[in-house]
Structure 1
Amino acid sequence: MSYAVAALVDIDDFVASSQVQGQVWAGRQLRRADRAVHAAAFGRPGVTCRPQPPEEWLMMLTGADPEALMSEATALAEEVRARIVRETAWTATVSLGVPRLGHEQAQREAEREARLANDYKLVLGGDRVISSEASSARGPLSPPVRIEEELTRRVRAGDRNGAAGLLAGWVDRCASERDVDPGTLRNWLIGGLLFVVDVVNRSRLPDGSTDWVEACARLPIEDIVTVGDIHERSYLHIWLRETLGRLMPPPARTDILALAETYLAEHYTDPGLRLSTVAEAVCASPFYISHLFAEERRTTFLRHLTGLRLRHARRLLTTTALPVDVIAARTGYPSAKALRGVFRRHVGCSPTEYRRAGLRP
């Protein structure tokens, strides 16, 4: 009787490091990794090694004793990892199946189990040996946190990088949950992507519900299927940036200005409101917000904010008997003195004088 067990060697963060360092550098590192893998296998009876381009190697171990075979596979996995760390700029993950009895069919099953184990790299991270025990069944889970409100804000602001970063950080947070498995993590992510599609899509059916036929045209089925092939979070982050770049149209300058004006209209009573606060809320730079107010509205951010506050203050002065200090607090000024100063500069009189004039028949 002969048993077979597979060990899948997978370079960690291959795509991300190749993008940073370049393909020439990556090719040189791959040659070093290939030598390291084959050196670890050399001289071991019953071990074959087959490259799986661009950054994987499938090692197949055969033998008569399944327990001894598994012990040898674990030792080989640790040696491969150590050699790759020593001889390249990378780390590696080695995923092990379980011994299977037979010949060709057994080897195919052994490879399949090793790849299923390697899928857990998505939740466990790299630089480790992963056994098939990692793929035991879990019960249904719920995401530890929800990000729809913040995600909506970033999507509507057209902040592609911000939305992708938020989703990527959320995936990392979810992956750290106890007992989460790759399938559950992908389901949560696909739900997040469909949520983005719904926010971006403006087509609605007559009853007001989302036109999902139109909406899903923005996220082709091939993209959703691709998520199932990703087992590394660094690459998943890259994929998210690319996918959201296609899903989200670039923001128009008028949209950003409208968002800024809406935010101001909702928050002008906050005495701590600043240009930087608004810029962060609409995911644009303070300089760009100032530029839009100057070019599109022929005014400044501060004048626009002051106008909102004074308009409210004048209304309260002429329609209520509230004291000036209370009106100051309700219109975004820290004190009655601050309100009086702004009033004199922009209206030409004090709040009390304005009230008297406004109450005159």
Structure 2
Amino acid sequence: MTYAVAALVDIDDFMVSEKTRGRPWALRQLQRADHAVRAATSARRDATCHPRPPEEWLIMLSGADPGALMSDAEELAEELRARIVRETAWTATVSLGGPSLEHVAAERDARRVNDYKLVLGGDRVIAPPAHESAAPTPPVRIEQELTRRVRAGDRNGAAGLLAGWVDRCAREPGADPRTLRNWLIGQLLFVVDVANRSRLADGSTDWVEACARLPIEDIIMVGDIHERSYLHIWLRETLGRLMPAAPRRDVLALAEAYLAEHYTDPGLRLATVAQAVSASPYYISHLFAEERRTTFLRHLTGLRLRHARRLLSTSALPVDVIAAHTGYPTAKALRSAFRRYVGCSPTEYRRAGLRPGS
């Protein structure tokens, strides 16, 4: 009797990276990933590789001993993940199904396991879960704040709040993909109810009109999303259609304002800013890439170095004091950032008599 085990190789955050870095760049990375996957499987007589465009590969292993087959699959999965990290600019998740007598069933099982990427995140090997026990209710409720943002027409604010809430729910013990999606669909229907201005005679929501703005196929599409980074983009686009346009302060503006006020704090992190503006780190990173064509870290570094250059040009403060005033824990950290982004040391910059705009 011959068993089959499927290993599904799935590039992490593919849609986001293609959107921010461009299709040509993504195609080059896909070629490298394909080479890495084929190199890892070519030496194994019991393994076959089947590309699943645009960013997946199905590896099928066959053998008579299901226990030994799972051990081989786990070893290969770790090798596949490590090769992609080493040979591309991406990370990858490899999901393993359980032993099956049919290849179709083995692939279906691996895809079911890959669904857990929505909860666990990427850059890992995911094995079949021992058991599935859903949490009964979400760990936090956000309807009051969500209502406020929807009624204010703050589309990005509402999307950021929902994205951060999804991340919080995913960390809940016992959370599974199906439960997480059910909770999210409930929140989306809540948004439809709050945003819909068309009411029936008794004051209830006109769901015929409301569902024209959130078609059933859009709700069904949630079931196909297993990347939280892409889910965050999808939420932003979906809420853009659901909510009426109105003056708003978006998540990016709030994040930039928070950074401008707190960049001198050496402990400032992306997670800190995300929590302060009720959004998720994934979402804020995406906004900096899409709207500003930069990264969160580069923006923060720019604020700190601009202040440091100003102090070097207008004061006689020692470098270690300037470091403390601009968010760097040590003078060494400031010197390292200066050499990397400015091209000289703080002392050389001061001696040259340069000005911040130079």
Query: Which residue among 110, 113, 122 is the counterpart of 2:109?
Result: 113
**AA partner of residue 37 (structure 1):** V
Matches of residues 90-239 of structure 1 in structure 2 within 5 Å? 90-101=90-101, 106-133=102-129, 136-239=131-234
Equivalent-residue separation in structure 2 for 1:240 and 1:162 (angstroms):
11
| CA deviation after TM superposition for structure 1 residue 36, in Å | 0.2
Instruction: Tell me how far apart the structure 2 counterparts of residues 181 and 139 of structure 1 sit (CA, whole Å).
Output: 6
Over 3 Å counting, the alpha-carbon distance change for 1:246 and 1:252 in structure 2 is same
Structure-1 separation of matches of 2:149 and 2:172: 25
Q: Detail structure 1 runs of 4+ shifted over 6 Å in the superposition.
A: none
* Structure 2 residue identity aligned to 1:169: G
Q: 2:3·2:64 contact (CA, 8 Å) conserved in 1? A: yes
Give the residue type in structure 1 aligned to 2:80: V
Tell me the percent identity: 75
- Does the C-alpha gap of structure 1 residues 238 and 120 become closer, same or farther in structure 2, counting only changes over 3 Å? same
Q: Does the 8 Å contact 1:141/1:180 carry over to 2?
A: no
Give distance in 1, aligned partners of 2:67 and 2:133: 26
3-state SS, counterpart of residue 60 of structure 2: strand
What runs of 5+ residues in structure 1 fail to find an aligned partner? 254-279, 281-361
TM-fit CA distance, 1:137: 2.3
Q: Give 1:215 deviation, angstroms.
A: 1.5
For residue 241 of structure 1, what is the aligned residue in structure 2?
Answer: 236
- Where does residue 348 of structure 1 map in the other structure? none
- Could you tell me which residue of structure 2 aligns to residue 40 of structure 1? 40
In structure 2, distance between residues paired with 1:53 and 1:143? 35
Deviations 1:31-78 (A, max 9, x none): 000000000001101100000000000000001111111110000000
TM-score, normalised via structure 2 length: 0.68
TM-score (norm 1): 0.67
Q: Which amino acid aligns with 1:132?
A: P
- Residue identity in the other structure for 1:123: V
Distance 2:134 2:122 in 1: 24
The 8 Å contact of residues 163 and 232 in structure 2, kept in 1 or not, is answered as yes
Write out per-residue CA displacement over residues 211-265 of structure 1, whole angstroms, 9 at most, x where no aligned residue. Answer: 2222222100010000000001000001001111111121169xxxxxxxxxxxx
Q: Which residue of 2 aligns with 1:16?
A: 16
CA-based RMSD:
1.3
Residue aligned with 1:228, SS: helix
Letter paired with 1:232: E
1:264-288 CA-to-partner distances (Å, cap 9, x unmatched) read: xxxxxxxxxxxxxxxx9xxxxxxxx
User: Who is 2:7 aligned against?
Assistant: 7
Which segments of 5 or more consecutive residues in structure 2 lack a partner in the other structure? 249-276, 278-358
Q: 1:67-86 alignment to 2 at 5 Å?
A: 67-86=67-86
User: 1:138 is paired with a residue of what secondary structure?
Assistant: coil
Rounded to whole Å, the distance in 2 between the matches of 1:227 and 1:139 is: 18
